[in-house]
Structure 1
Amino acid sequence: MILSYDERSPSVDSDAWVAQDATVCGDVIIGAGSRIMHGARLVAEAGGSILIGRNCIVLENAVIRATSRHACSIGDHCIVGPNSHVVGAQIDGEVFIATGAAVFHGAQIGRGSEVRINGTVHLRTRLEPGSTVPIGWIAVGDPAQILPPDQHEAIWALQKTLDFPGFVYGVDRSSPDLMKNITSRLSDGLGIHRAESSC
């Protein structure tokens, strides 16, 4: 389903293909030879944009999102695996994002890198070209430190300074009613989608 809102419409190259049950919404550009498979969701929130390069494969049920604060771009010849999640990240060419992986706001993934099954690249994290995040491991920081999931305290020590609520939502973590503030702002911003229409 190709959807527009607020004069923001997807642009799909004539040599690309989007499955009928996939969603492509807003300011999204899909390059030649790219394939957006069944159930995938590419959603550019108001003020955000998504750029998918040439010959990219976005597999079943993957989610790629951009926000007004964090555009998303994926270079040529990339694979975004089933059930993976990429939001507001910059991914260079020839990158493999495996099944169930998560890549967060402001992350930068260098050319030829791999984020393997259930791997995570946290917000504001930079992976050098050719890097590998092993199965289930977590990359965090700039430059990235790549840690196993049983190292929660070490991961949190690095992640806390990256300030998820402030960087992603513009809300101070110590503010009273943190989740009320975040969800109210997010609800207001996402309200623009009430005006969606098919292209």
Structure 2
Amino acid sequence: MVSAWRQRCPNSGFVQSSTAASDARYRLFVKHNRAFAALSRHLRQHPELFRPWKGTMYRVTTLKYRDPAEILLGEGSYLNGGRWNAIGSFRAVYGSTDDVVALAESKANALYANLPYPFRDPRLVVAAEVSLSRVIDLTAPETLKALALTEEELAREDWRKVQEQGAESFTQALGRAAFIAKAEGLLARSARVKGGINIVYFPQNKARGSDVRLWQPRQLAPDES
């Protein structure tokens, strides 16, 4: 996967990362976004933006990746990148606060990847009970004001196209700034469902006392009989 991405992006810039990702064989770096420094500075200046959050996170997964030990690892986004984390940077688990929103996000990802929809392979909607102590709520106007951002800026860029060109998108730079500032996750508006909210969980930053737990994990475990 890494070599294929490099073939698509032969002129990409590779920079040493300061994140905690440690799998050397997949360690691939894109050219860092210049907005990162300012975003990091805003986060340092506003510690009040890191707040507790409790709720339910919904994710859509395939039967192949239904193992409870893997659902909350964020390995897929680490290897492929996501809206808030560049490929090979750090792990992020993507979910939504509503199951309908989670399904809409899954459909959008499938259509972008030219996968058949309606889905030909079975999908599962899994739920996790989440209790985190340091979450940045990007749906809150006061958060955007403190970070000198607008909702339009967050929705403007196609992060996939930016990443394919070997660069870090603006939202990926914001996610990296939050990760390095020890945020445990982000809340962000869904681009697919009006009023929908997505949650992005950073498992490497989970603090003592925080908890992320799947509902009915035994029913998800692969049958080894």
TM interval, short-chain normalised: under 0.3
Q: More helix by proportion, 1 or 2?
A: 2
Q: State the TM-score, normalizing by the size of structure 1.
A: 0.23
Larger RCO (CA under 8 A, 6+ residues apart): 2
* TM-score where L is the length of structure 2: 0.21
- The structure with the largest strand share of the pair is 1
